[in-house]
Amino acid sequence: MSIKHWPEKERPREKLLTNGPQSLSDAELLAVFLRTGIKGKTAVDLGRELISRFGGLKVLLNASETEFCNSPGLGRAKYALLQAVLEMARRHQWQQIDKGKALTSPTAANDYLISQIGHLGHEVFGCVYLDNRHRLLGFEELFRGTIDGATIYPREVVKHCLKHQAAAVIFAHNHPSGDCSPSAADREITRKLVEALKLIDIRVLDHIIVGDRDCYSFAENGLI
């Protein structure tokens, strides 16, 4: 039976409009995005199958174009639509903080960084640049790959901080595994960066490790 023949209160789109998006399961949210199913399967059936195939909604949303397009019911048009939706969500989060406003709330910083790098399937190291009133100047991804002494170059970080005329910074990197616990390498590179930036009077306010939905703050745990 197609979804249009379901009771209205059980149809994902109508359910979303009546009760809000939080009332939908992952498969139902995906069904709204897909709009239609395939032969013999409703959009909800297809949503469940895709989530099972990828091992979760996050993995599906982070899939490469090839992985995504090789799945039943998907293709390049849907992939392009998904990338547009994800980018709109990131830009919305950026505008919630808004360039020029003070980034003083740990929650706001965490939410912003989760939107920027929490979704990525590979490890990245980035920097939030702030002025002397801790107003947001911008965010930049600086390095990719495992965060250790071989991949993070303090001299390059200093160069980018000076380019942005930052008075203070918040470092951030993600753990795609979802575990926010800092490694020995995380602690060591943070120490080196704090020392390097101290020489040019730029304060390191925090280093935040971003997981799936949680963050670990070096500052809140007395490591900076």
Domain count, the chain: 2
In a domain, 93, yes or no: no
Q: Which of 67, 87, 107 is the last residue of a domain?
A: 87
In a domain, 224, yes or no: no
- For the question of whether the overall pTM of this predicted structure is more than 0.85, the answer is no
Helices (H), 55-151: 57-61, 65-69, 76-97, 106-117
What domain range is 12 assigned to? Answer: 3-87
The CATH number of the domain holding residue 36 is 1.10.150
The reply to whether 51 and 158 lie within a common domain is no
In a domain, 194, yes or no: yes
All residues at 6 or more sequence positions from 44 whose CB lies less than 8 Å from its CB, including other chains: 3, 12, 27, 28, 31, 37
The CATH number of the domain holding residue 103 is 3.40.140.10
In a domain, 168, yes or no: yes
The reply to whether 184 and 104 lie within a common domain is yes
Asked whether 137 and 164 are in contact (CB, 8 A), the reply is yes
The reply to whether 114 and 143 lie within a common domain is yes
The pLDDT value recorded for residue 18 is 93
Share of the chain above pLDDT 70, in %: 91
Tell me the mean pLDDT in the region 56-81: 90
Q: Which of 87, 108, 138 is the last residue of a domain?
A: 87
The reply to whether 111 and 72 lie within a common domain is no
The reply to whether 122 and 198 lie within a common domain is yes
The reply to whether 164 and 79 lie within a common domain is no
Tell me the mean pLDDT in the region 144-172: 86
In a domain, 72, yes or no: yes
Asked whether 179 and 211 are in contact (CB, 8 A), the reply is yes
The reply to whether 41 and 126 lie within a common domain is no
In a domain, 30, yes or no: yes
The pLDDT value recorded for residue 2 is 74
pLDDT tens column, 79-101: 999 999 888 887 776 666 655 55
For residue 74, give the DSSP letter. Answer: -
- HSE-up of 220 (CA within 13 Å, CB side)? 12
The reply to whether 75 and 107 lie within a common domain is no
